[in-house]
Structure 1
Amino acid sequence: MSEQRAAEFVEADGLATVRLNRPALTREVKEELLVALRGAADSTTARAVLLLGSAKAFCVGQDLAEHARILKEEPGQALDTVRKHYNPIVRALESIQVPVVVGIGGACVGAGLGFALAGDVRVAARRAKFGTAFTGIGLASDSGLAFRLVKSLGRSRAMELMLLGTVVGADRALELGLVTEVVEDDAWEERAREVATLLASGPTAAFVAAKREVRAAADSQEDFEGLLEEEADLQNQLGTTADHVGAVDAFLNKRPPTFTGG
């Protein structure tokens, strides 16, 4: 029996499905996710895209065990992953012209939240939790997260989630506008697929045009590209700080981090 891939892409009846089979983002997962998303973006027959994680978690962000190893072995290159992996993943999501539905069955944290917010419609299980997590390990955000939080929630709420690391449940996420719909825990994937299938059977050209209009009204792509580059620069700087290195070690050893500001 062949081993299950970290991320996979399948298409049937006009619906492209991209599934993350592992909740933490190792290099392997990021590389396979990028291939899958590019497959969905490049499809000439997909009329909608469904992005799913597992029931345990949609995505919890960077795998910190792998990150800690790279910090130790190649400290100056540990955060190069932002430009090598995270930015291309976000750009792949951004390049999908047809509707993107995101099914969120559990934790949606860090870069995972950035990926989810890059979708157009988000269906969440009631057990799902949402958080930024970055400052808790001495980093700022990546994956376009700050940009999308400000666009979705406004500056004040974005600051709360970023600085205080507030974790919100699905019902609160619905109130804030982080998700489109909340369903019972055993129905999230079925409902997300139902919405994606509905969109895949709709007026595709009109949906593509509507996405272009909404993006033009809400975003400046030039500013977004600039933000991705600034995120990468900041993460590279923060990746060498004692606060970040110590916080990663504390997380892996299940103890509270101690920050000195350096």
Structure 2
Amino acid sequence: MDALILSNVEQGVMTITLNRPDRLNSFNDEMHQQLVDCLKQAERDDTIRCLLITGAGRGFCAGQDLNDRNVDPQGNPPDLGLSVENFYNPLVRRLAALPKPVIAAVNGVAAGAGATLALGCDMVIAARSANFIMAFSKLGLVPDCGGTWFLPRVAGRARALGLALMGDKLSAEQAHQWGMIWQVVDDAQLSDAALTLARHLATQPTYGLGLIKQALLAAETNTLDAQLDLERDYQRLAGRSPDYREGVSAFLAKRPPQFSGKSS
């Protein structure tokens, strides 16, 4: 089996590289399966405290490989909803539920599901030459991989509609100016900058970061009252963690904290 997903764990960071550079890292079913295997490892391995996703070659991800979603020999159209249900929806849910930070290092074009995958990560750092394309409309399709949920939240309704309806290329610089992504760096600096960020997050109170992530996701649909209750409940959990005790002790002793990332 070809290694369509490369993974490496070092200093608390799992780096996942989408590895179909000849197809701009577009997804096929085998690539989805290999990615799931990596994410399952990230879920169960407590030594992994941050996830970094990037692409091999000159692109981040061109979305779905259309060769895998063409009509069959009898001319019947594929069931694209089945593909979304079996692959993209579980992927988005798995990344959102992962109680660890997820960083996308966008090294080139991010199109279709590749763009929505990147925007669905917790933080996005992009090379200056990178771009984002909501290419779905060019094929008469609807943004998937969480696109219709993430896009208006990171770009606002007007920009989300414009990007989705027009399918135009959005530069990394413009995405940064609009507040859609965290950082833009020169192409040659992307790998080091992304890894530095990931390694920093991997030293932080992972359990608390996971609670922050879940609280902010919940805020998208909660009422204020519900969110205040959630903050109370999560703060109670965070306050019982060893990292909170370590953070206070380090602050009082005027020393750098040594967080374990554990919940108890």
**Common topology (TM > 0.5):** yes
Q: What residue is the counterpart of 1:121 in the other structure? A: 123
The count of residues paired between Structure 1 and Structure 2 equals 218
Q: Which amino acid aligns with 1:150?
A: P
After superposition, the Cα gap between the structure-2 partners of 1:95 and 1:74, relative to the gap in structure 1 and judged at 3 Å, is farther
Structure 1 stretches lacking a partner, 5+ long: 221-262
Q: What residue is the counterpart of 1:161 in the other structure? A: 163
**1:91-138 C-alpha deviation (Å, 9 max, x unpaired):** 111121111111110001111111111211111001101011001011
Q: Which has the higher contact order (CA 8 A, sep 6+)?
A: 1
- Which is worse superposed, 19-28 or 5-14? 5-14
Instruction: Tell me the distance in 2 between the aligned counterparts of 1:161 and 1:96.
Output: 28
Q: What residue is the counterpart of 2:66 in the other structure? A: 64
**1:144-197 C-alpha deviation (Å, 9 max, x unpaired):** 111001111111111001111121111001011221111111111111111000
**1:1-262 paired onto structure 2 within 5 Å:** 5-22=3-20, 23-70=25-72, 75-219=77-221
Q: What residue is the counterpart of 1:240 in the other structure? A: none
Structure 1 runs, 4 residues or longer, greater than 6 Å off: none
Residue 187 of structure 1: SS of its match in structure 2? helix
Structure 2 stretches lacking a partner, 5+ long: 223-264
Kindly, what percent of the aligned residue pairs are identical?
32
Instruction: Tell me the distance in 2 between the aligned counterparts of 1:70 and 1:185.
Output: 40
Instruction: Tell me the distance in 2 between the aligned counterparts of 1:135 and 1:111.
Output: 12
Normalised TM-score (structure 1): 0.77
Residue 140 of structure 1: SS of its match in structure 2? coil
After superposition, the Cα gap between the structure-2 partners of 1:76 and 1:59, relative to the gap in structure 1 and judged at 3 Å, is closer
Residue 168 of structure 2: SS of its match in structure 1? coil
**1:207-260 C-alpha deviation (Å, 9 max, x unpaired):** 12221222222346xxxxxxxxxxxxxxxxxxxxxxxxxxxxxxxxxxxxxxxx
Normalised TM-score (structure 2): 0.77
After superposition, the Cα gap between the structure-2 partners of 1:173 and 1:13, relative to the gap in structure 1 and judged at 3 Å, is same
Q: Which amino acid aligns with 1:110?
A: G
Q: What is the alpha-carbon root mean square deviation over aligned residues?
A: 1.9
Instruction: Tell me the distance in 2 between the aligned counterparts of 1:72 and 1:39.
Output: 40
